[in-house]
Amino acid sequence: MTPLNRNQMAWRVAHDIPDGSYVNLGVGMPLAVVNFMPDDRDIVFHSENGLLGMRDLKPGEEPDSELVNAGKRPVRMLPGGAFFHHADSFLMIRGGHLDFAVLGAYEVAENGDLANWRLLDSKSAPAVGGAMDLVYGAKKVLVICEHNSKDGSPKIVKEAKLPLTGRECVSKIFTDHAVIERTGDGMVVREMIEGLTFDELQDRTGAKLRLANDWKPLITPDLPVEERPSRKKQVGEI
């Protein structure tokens, strides 16, 4: 059993987003999703700092300090893109105009509660950004996160203990182990990585899961994660 790496998780999320969608990617792991969109889909990426139709720079492309995404990293614009100010940008988010938000998580509860902005033991200042806007604004909230924390504790829990970002807002969770959908009838496992049994998955999960009758193996291409020069992790990168 080999859990997915970050790129494979991003790839899996990318392949869940249908052609023609308007999508916001949260800072951190979600930002990688843009790199794995299937070529045959027109997806319009929204960045809360006022961009629609952005993409990551191509290798070797010159960065422009005036053209950055919500993670403050340089991007480029596709033909058909548009710039707008923050009030209009959050009108889009809060008014239900985005099809998907992809967010990281510290905890997702069985009822869909999400906590992803503040740890309890943190002595330093909190930082919420646009997460609380996105959780209620986007039509569907997709979460991308490791199935378990480094200490092995589950991120999908019975009840969230951390300060919430939003209540009952998560639609689907993409982890390195599984794809799990929140339904009217609880958390349903749609896909699991090969070599993992449902009981093993349940053991690693705080919330009660149910295996879909038509569940599938969670298979992605090999997508090695490049070593990047280490840098101080930004708050909000989950």
Partner 1 sequence: MIDKRRQTADEAVADIKDGSTVLIGGFGMTGEPRELCSALAARKVRGLTIVTNNAGSGEFGIGLLMKQGCVDKIVCSFPRVPGSVVFEELYEAGKLELEMVPQGTIAERVRAGAAGVPAFFTRTSWGTPLAEGKEVRTFDGKEYVMERAIRGDVALVKAYKGDRWGNLVYAKSMRNFNPVMAMGADLTIAQVSEIVELGELDPEHVITPGIFVNRVVQLEALNA
User: Which residues are catalytic, by number?
Assistant: 48
Q: What's phi and psi for 192, nearest 5 deg?
A: -135, 150
> By CB under 8 A, is residue 231 in contact with partner 1?
yes
Q: Please tell me the distance from the alpha carbon of residue 216 to that of residue 214, in angstroms, as a whole number.
A: 6
> By CB under 8 A, is residue 137 in contact with partner 1?
yes
Q: Strand, coil or helix: what is 103?
A: strand
Strand partners, 141: 101
Total residues contacting partner 1 by CB under 8 A comes to 64
Considering beta carbons, is residue 123 or 150 the nearer one to partner 1?
123
Contacting partner 1 (CB under 8 A), which of 120, 125, 152, 222?
125
> By CB under 8 A, is residue 129 in contact with partner 1?
yes
Task: Tell me the C-alpha to C-alpha distance, in Å, between residue 105 and each of 84, 87, 172.
Answer: 28, 26, 12
Contacting partner 1 (CB under 8 A), which of 97, 158, 161, 216?
97
Nearest distance, CB of residue 174 and partner 1, angstroms? 23
Nearest residue to 167 via CA among 111, 98, 96: 111
Task: Label residues 181-191 b or e (16+ Cβ within 10 Å = b).
Answer: ebeeeebbbbb
Contacting partner 1 (CB under 8 A), which of 44, 109, 141, 170?
44
Strand partners, 100: 23, 140
Contacting partner 1 (CB under 8 A), which of 57, 67, 188, 212?
67
Contacting partner 1 (CB under 8 A), which of 5, 6, 15, 81?
81
Nearest residue to 146 via CA among 214, 73, 205, 210: 205
Q: Please tell me the distance from the alpha carbon of residue 91 to that of residue 233, in angstroms, as a whole number.
A: 29
> By CB under 8 A, is residue 52 in contact with partner 1?
yes
> By CB under 8 A, is residue 63 in contact with partner 1?
no
> By CB under 8 A, is residue 147 in contact with partner 1?
no
Which residues of this protein are in contact with partner 1, per CB under 8 A? 19-20, 22, 42, 44, 46-53, 64-69, 72, 77, 79-87, 89-98, 118, 123-133, 136-137, 163-167, 231-232, 234-236
